[in-house]
Structure 1
């Protein structure tokens, strides 16, 4: 009994499945086939990029419709960009400038009532270094130096002092003039200063230098005339007040000076130029030599001519 029921149920199921299959086939041939036709041509496109790979499968029917395209996209491959390497520019090398020459002195003008002075002065000195050796330095007399002590109340010796620097380190130069036989000369130069460690760091600290120059003929000029000289003149300063073996010199240029001025004077008197005074001695000597030579030539010519005339006279006899 159970077996017969099982057979009947199976038969019914097979019959239902056959009917359902026929129904589906009919529907497929009628309408559904137009929407989903069987694939005839399959074309596969593979696109490869640096970031992702896409595979596209297209099913084409007659005629193909957009709805028959099936796209399969692979997951994107995320790539980490390479780190950017920053390039630091190389440092620009600094240029070391050669040490500049010591500046030239500037011209200053000073009036001490009895002495009127205009000049540019620079002196070379010898100083002691920290290691016990000696070296040379340069120092200018500033054009804005002020007048310190000055002597005007004597008739034979007058002087003018120029000072500069700080109150604790006063630097000075003193020029002394002497009048004798209506002629004025600069008879002495005295320099006193402390070696500036800012300019000369190798110098022994607190070193004071004094240099002295004695003369009997510098800046020589007639009385009531001003001495003038444009070119630089070097005056040796080999003596010192404390008798140390320090050697130096002072260079003076653009000089115009007049001592023993009268109280009514308001400027320089007639100029007595150093170059004109030097050439005045040379010109007379040159003229004298030329005249002596000319006289000698005339005398020799006369003696030669007289000797020839005497010889011809003897030949006539």
Structure 2
């Protein structure tokens, strides 16, 4: 009886164990049937439990603002591309509107103590009707007459030319100085009335005073005439002490002589501007020095040769 009960209990225990094992197996199989979330989030690994899978899906969700921020364009790019840089323009300098005169002709003037021959053109600045300043060209006429001259002084002499109508006389003066038996130009003074018939765009009733301070021009020894065919340009200012240039005068084919003797009939011996101003004493002195040097070298050579010859005889 006891044995049969024992067998019955053992059979029940084995049966219950088998049932439990089948349940566990079914539960294990059921875990593998959980829906796969890897299709939604391919970057996350599949977990072994349903709780871990749900947690992973919530943490790897992509932000929704990434697509919208990538399409935003700065407003400044469109505004700067449409604006054009502002440019400032400076007014061009006023140029001469008057017709340039022909080349000046050569004139000759004789004031007994000063004989002058030249062609001169003046380039100066004047005020136009619009208030701007422009350049004008004016030729000293070859038909100008001698207004005055000073032949009494033996240190300073001048010649004064004028031309034009009586109501608006133009004038040209040249001063010469004599120092240490040398004559040179000391100054030029020009007085011009800017007439509308010569300069139509000029402001009316305008007078120009032009002065040049001499700086060794037309320099020549005493009793010789200065001669130069090439163009020479000299600056002009308003006064002798002024530094601001307002023009220039160009002269060519110049021959002039001041401090002439009373009985002179024309120009003296010509001193050309392109000739050498070196005194004749210098080349003469250089020639004498070279001759003396050659003589010394020759004497030294002869003395040395004589000594060598005498030593040769003594050796015998």
Give the alignment's TM-score, normalised by structure 2. Answer: 0.55
Residue 161 of structure 2 aligns to a residue whose secondary structure is strand
2:192 pairs with 1:157: no
| Most deviating of 122-131 and 240-249 | 240-249
Q: In the aligned structure 1, how far is the partner of 2:218 from the partner of 2:243?
A: 27
Matches within 5 A, 1:93-172: 101-172=100-171
Residue 219 of structure 2 aligns to a residue whose secondary structure is strand
Structure 2: give runs of 5+ residues left out of the alignment.
1-97, 287-316
In 2, are the aligned partners of 1:127 and 1:246 still within 8 Å (CA)? no
Alpha-carbon displacement from aligned partner over 1:250-273 (angstroms, at most 9, x marks no partner): 001000000000011001000000
Matched with 2:246 is: 247
Query: 1:242 Cα deviation (Å)?
Result: 10
Query: 1:131 Cα deviation (Å)?
Result: 1.5
Q: In the aligned structure 2, how far is the partner of 1:113 from the partner of 1:214?
A: 24
Q: In the aligned structure 2, how far is the partner of 1:216 from the partner of 1:100?
A: 32
Alpha-carbon displacement from aligned partner over 1:71-93 (angstroms, at most 9, x marks no partner): xxxxxxxxxxxxxxxxxxxxxxx
Matched with 2:228 is: 229
In 2, are the aligned partners of 1:178 and 1:184 still within 8 Å (CA)? yes
Matched with 2:267 is: 268
2:195 pairs with 1:196: yes
Query: 1:200 Cα deviation (Å)?
Result: 1.4
Matched with 1:213 is: 212
Structure 1: give runs of 5+ residues left out of the alignment.
1-98, 289-317
Q: In the aligned structure 1, how far is the partner of 2:128 from the partner of 2:100?
A: 21
Question: How many residues in Structure 1 have an aligned counterpart in Structure 2?
Answer: 189
Q: In the aligned structure 2, how far is the partner of 1:207 from the partner of 1:244?
A: 22
Residue 216 of structure 1 aligns to a residue whose secondary structure is coil
Q: In the aligned structure 1, how far is the partner of 2:99 from the partner of 2:210?
A: 26
In 1, are the aligned partners of 2:100 and 2:137 still within 8 Å (CA)? no
Matched with 2:74 is: none
The verdict on how the C-alpha distance between 1:127 and 1:104 changes in structure 2, with shifts beyond 3 A counting, is same
In 2, are the aligned partners of 1:240 and 1:246 still within 8 Å (CA)? no
Query: 1:246 Cα deviation (Å)?
Result: 5.7
Matched with 2:176 is: 177
Q: In the aligned structure 1, how far is the partner of 2:243 from the partner of 2:181?
A: 36
Query: 1:215 Cα deviation (Å)?
Result: 1.4
Query: 1:244 Cα deviation (Å)?
Result: 10
Residue 130 of structure 1 aligns to a residue whose secondary structure is coil
Q: RMSD between aligned alpha carbons?
A: 2.7
Q: In the aligned structure 1, how far is the partner of 2:276 from the partner of 2:120?
A: 22
In 2, are the aligned partners of 1:126 and 1:137 still within 8 Å (CA)? yes
Q: In the aligned structure 2, how far is the partner of 1:207 from the partner of 1:177?
A: 29
